[in-house]
Chains A and B, each alone.
Chain A
């Protein structure tokens, strides 16, 4: 299984500011996924990050709000921009194993916007 490290593990941010979340994987992966888990809710896919190309966003998520970088095959960042209290969530990075069918998840970043 892949080891996925996310930073920061948690943060409390002021509204109107931005936070960049880092995801580091211990092996090279083609795709990385970013999910959001709002309080008391399930996980919702934000976007798919491919190395060397623009991220693909799901309905309801836009690049201006959630810009994503994917500079190499082991690293990605998700920025939550111009934050509001509604952005308070757990953000999780996920990767599929090579040739595998499931997804592995990082520990998540617990974001609180005040």
Chain B
């Protein structure tokens, strides 16, 4: 079984400032890691994913995340945020084994609010 902890429930930031949303996970097996974004009254959209290989992964909308196996972390970053980035962000994990495909464990979510 896996678990995911998002360390900040809310992150306020000014427009054009950098932001980091923190995510730690726990698992006894190899995992795949994901970040999803949920805009108000919408479903979840995949931002980026880590499967293997390079620990720095780039996603849509200028976001990137770094996988750190020793710290079991997968923090999301953006060097300069826009008002339109205001949304809730979810970190998720799944077992890298084939039997779990599509079945995700989510963190509690981080609400990013970008102020002008």
Instruction: Judge whether B102 and A95 touch: CB under 8 Å.
Output: yes
Q: Is chain A's interface secondary structure helix, strand, loop, or mixed overall?
A: strand
Instruction: Judge whether B43 and A45 touch: CB under 8 Å.
Output: no
Known A-B contacts A42-B107, A43-B90, A101-B51; A31 and B43 likewise in contact (beta carbons under 8 Å)? no
Tell me, in angstroms, the Cα distance from A106 to B108 when the chains sit together.
19
Instruction: Judge whether A42 and B32 touch: CB under 8 Å.
Output: no
Given contact pairs A42-B108, A102-B46, A108-B43, enumerate 7 new A-B contacts (beta carbons under 8 Å).
Answer: A42-B106, A43-B104, A45-B104, A94-B102, A96-B101, A105-B43, A107-B43
Instruction: Judge whether A31 and B44 touch: CB under 8 Å.
Output: no
List 29 A–B pairs whose Cβ atoms lie within 8 Å, in order of A's numbering.
Answer: A4-B43, A31-B102, A41-B109, A42-B90, A42-B106, A42-B107, A43-B104, A43-B106, A44-B106, A45-B104, A45-B105, A92-B44, A94-B102, A96-B101, A96-B102, A100-B101, A101-B32, A101-B49, A101-B51, A101-B94, A101-B101, A102-B34, A102-B46, A103-B102, A103-B104, A105-B36, A105-B43, A105-B45, A106-B43
Give the shortest distance, in Å, between B99 (CB) and chain A (any CB): 10
